[in-house]
Amino acid sequence: MILLKKNIQSGKVSFLFILIYFFLTSISSPLVANENSEGKFVEIKILDKVSSKTDLLKLKIGEELRFKSLLIKSLKCKNSEFDDNPEITSYIQVKDTINNDNNEVFIFNGWTFSSSPAVNPFDHPVYDIWLTRCY
């Protein structure tokens, strides 16, 4: 009877250690993936529809950049955590300085996606914007 209790006791202890191990590894792996997925810079390609020329801009997260008549600011960018279908997303705000309204309303304020820019399109008569990279 004593031998049976010792076996049950050691089995409970082993099970408890295995349970704690799996719990700690499942918590730590998503945290590491989230740290690596956010970038500090965004790369945007801008098409001038009038001249048919493209320009590549590098934006630092949180800083505003002037491109001709546009003020562009990226607040956040993320790379997807999945390897099979990589996705780049960025939260971008765009103002047009030609429009002299005192309201300073954004002509674009939202998330943009590299693989499908038509989900949340940037509508401007002169420029088109595409997200190309987050690093």
41 and 132 Cβ atoms separated by less than 8 Å: no
Question: Bigger pLDDT: 54 or 4?
Answer: 54
Q: For residue 34, what pLDDT band results from cuts at 50, 70 and 90?
A: very low
Q: What is the mean pLDDT of residues 126-130?
A: 93
Alpha carbon 80 to chain centroid, angstroms: 7
Residue-wise pLDDT tens digits, 72-96: 999 999 988 766 667 899 999 999 8
Question: Bigger pLDDT: 81 or 61?
Answer: 61
Residue 117 confidence (pLDDT): 78
Q: What is the mean pLDDT of residues 56-77?
A: 94
Residue-wise pLDDT tens digits, 112-123: 988 887 888 888
For 12, phi then psi, to 5°, come to -65, -40
Q: For residue 106, what pLDDT band results from cuts at 50, 70 and 90?
A: confident
Tell me which residue of 43, 65, 67 sits closest to 124, measured CA to CA. 67
Domain ranges of the chain: 1-36, 38-134
**Residue 99 CB-half CA count within 13 A:** 14
What is the residue whose two structure tokens read 């949340």?
120
Residue 84 confidence (pLDDT): 64
